C-alpha cells in the first residue's frame, strides 16, 4: 500500500483545514445571504406599500405608482379642488403640477378626476389630493359634491377671456353654497404666456385680496407660478390648523413662516391691453 509522504499529508491536512474554513465561511455567507434576501424582501414590501401610498393616474386614467424608496411620514392630508369655466386650463394646470407636462390639445374633463402629490411645506409632509373638475355647467351636480371636503380651492380664469373672469362670481356662489366655511381660495389667471391679456391683473388682485383670497397669474404652458399657488395655499391652511406644539407644549415647534412665496412677475406689470 502506498503511503503518502509527510509533505503530502501536510498538504491534505491543510486542504482539510481550508475546506473546514471554507465550510464555515460558506455558513457565514449563507447567513449573510439569507439576511440580504430578508432585507431585500422587507425593502420590496416597503416599496410596495409606499407605491400603494403614492398612486396617481396617468393620462388614460390608469393607476401608476411612483418608485419612491423611503416613505415620508404624512403629517397632513388635504383635499383641493380646481374649478372654473371650461377651457381655462384647469387640467393642464394640474398636470403641470403633478406630472410636469403640458398638452396643447383640448380634452374636456368629464365629471371629475384627481391626482395625488406629496409635498414638504415648513417641515411638514403634506399629501394633497387634488380634484380636477369639468368646467361645463351640466356637471355641476356631480362636482359640487366634492366641495365640502375641499380645504383649498383653486379658481381659474383665462386671462384672455374676460367672461371667464366675470364668471368667478358664479363659482364663488357655488363655493358658498356647497363648500366649507374655512376653505382657502386662490384666484388664478391662467394662460399668462399669451400676448392678448384681457383681464387687468391689478383689478383681479385687488378683488382677490379684498376677499381674503390669494391671487396669481399663471401659465401651465410655461410652468409659471403653478407650484407657488399650491404651496401658498398649503401655508395658509396649515396656519389655521392647531400645530402639535400648540396642543402639547412638550412637542418641539415646527415654525410655519409667515412670509409666503411670491414670484409673480406680472405683479408690477402695466396692463398690456384693454382689460376688463
Q: Which residues bind ligand GTP (CB under 6 A)?
A: 86-92, 103-109, 134-135, 190-191, 193-194, 219-221
CB of 150 to ligand GTP, least distance (A): 17
188 in Cβ contact with 93 (< 8 Å): yes
Can you list the positions of beta strands (E) in the chain? 55-57, 63-65, 76-84, 112-121, 124-133, 152-158, 184-190, 214-217
CB of 119 to ligand GTP, least distance (A): 21
193: left (phi over 0), alpha (psi -120 to 50) or beta: alpha
User: Which DSSP symbol is given to 144?
Assistant: G
CB of 272 to ligand GTP, least distance (A): 15
**Given the complex with ligand GTP, which of 89 and 121 has the nearer CB atom?**
89
CB of 175 to ligand GTP, least distance (A): 16
> SS3 for 64?
strand
Nearest of 51, 89, 36, 131 to residue 224 by alpha carbon = 89
Which residues have CB under 8 Å from 34's CB, separation 6+?
none
d(CA 51, CA 69): 9
CB of 196 to ligand GTP, least distance (A): 11
**Given the complex with ligand GTP, which of 82 and 208 has the nearer CB atom?**
82
CB of 226 to ligand GTP, least distance (A): 9
**Given the complex with ligand GTP, which of 54 and 139 has the nearer CB atom?**
139
CB of 90 to ligand GTP, least distance (A): 4
**Given the complex with ligand GTP, which of 91 and 237 has the nearer CB atom?**
91
**Given the complex with ligand GTP, which of 115 and 124 has the nearer CB atom?**
115
d(CA 123, CA 186): 22
Nearest of 31, 15, 158, 142 to residue 81 by alpha carbon = 142
**Given the complex with ligand GTP, which of 79 and 190 has the nearer CB atom?**
190
**Given the complex with ligand GTP, which of 90 and 115 has the nearer CB atom?**
90
CA separation, residue 270 to residues 15, 202, 203, 226 (Å): 89, 8, 11, 22
Amino acid at each position: 500500500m502506498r503511503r503518502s509522504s509527510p509533505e503530502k499529508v501536510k498538504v491534505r491536512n491543510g486542504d482539510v483545514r481550508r475546506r473546514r474554513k471554507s465550510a464555515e465561511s460558506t455558513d457565514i455567507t449563507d447567513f449573510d445571504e439569507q439576511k440580504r434576501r430578508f432585507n431585500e424582501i422587507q425593502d420590496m414590501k416597503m416599496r410596495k406599500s409606499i407605491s400603494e401610498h403614492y398612486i396617481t393616474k396617468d393620462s388614460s386614467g390608469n393607476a401608476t405608482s411612483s418608485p419612491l424608496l423611503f416613505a415620508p411620514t404624512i403629517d397632513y392630508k388635504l383635499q383641493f379642488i380646481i374649478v372654473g369655466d371650461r377651457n381655462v386650463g384647469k387640467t393642464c394646470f394640474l398636470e403641470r403640477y403633478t406630472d410636469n407636462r403640458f398638452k396643447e390639445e383640448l380634452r374636456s374633463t368629464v365629471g371629475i378626476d384627481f391626482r395625488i402629490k406629496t409635498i414638504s411645506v415648513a417641515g411638514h409632509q403634506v399629501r394633497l389630493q387634488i380634484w380636477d373638475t369639468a368646467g361645463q355647467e351640466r356637471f355641476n351636480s356631480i362636482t359640487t359634491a366634492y366641495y365640502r371636503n375641499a380645504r383649498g380651492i383653486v379658481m381659474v380664469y383665462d386671462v384672455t377671456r374676460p367672461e371667464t373672469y366675470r364668471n368667478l362670481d358664479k363659482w364663488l356662489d357655488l363655493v358658498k353654497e356647497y363648500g366649507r366655511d374655512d376653505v382657502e381660495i386662490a384666484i388664478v389667471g391662467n394662460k399668462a404666456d399669451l400676448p392678448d391679456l384681457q383681464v387687468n391683473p391689478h383689478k383681479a388682485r385687488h378683488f382677490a385680496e379684498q376677499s381674503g383670497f390669494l391671487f396669481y397669474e399663471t401659465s401651465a404652458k410655461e410652468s409659471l407660478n403653478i407650484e407657488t399657488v399650491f404651496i401658498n395655499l398649503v401655508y395658509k391652511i396649515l396656519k389655521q390648523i392647531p400645530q402639535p406644539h400648540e396642543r402639547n407644549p412638550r412637542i418641539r415647534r415646527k415654525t410655519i413662516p409667515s412670509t409666503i412665496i411670491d414670484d409673480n412677475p406680472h405683479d408690477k406689470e402695466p396692463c398690456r391691453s384693454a382689460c376688463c
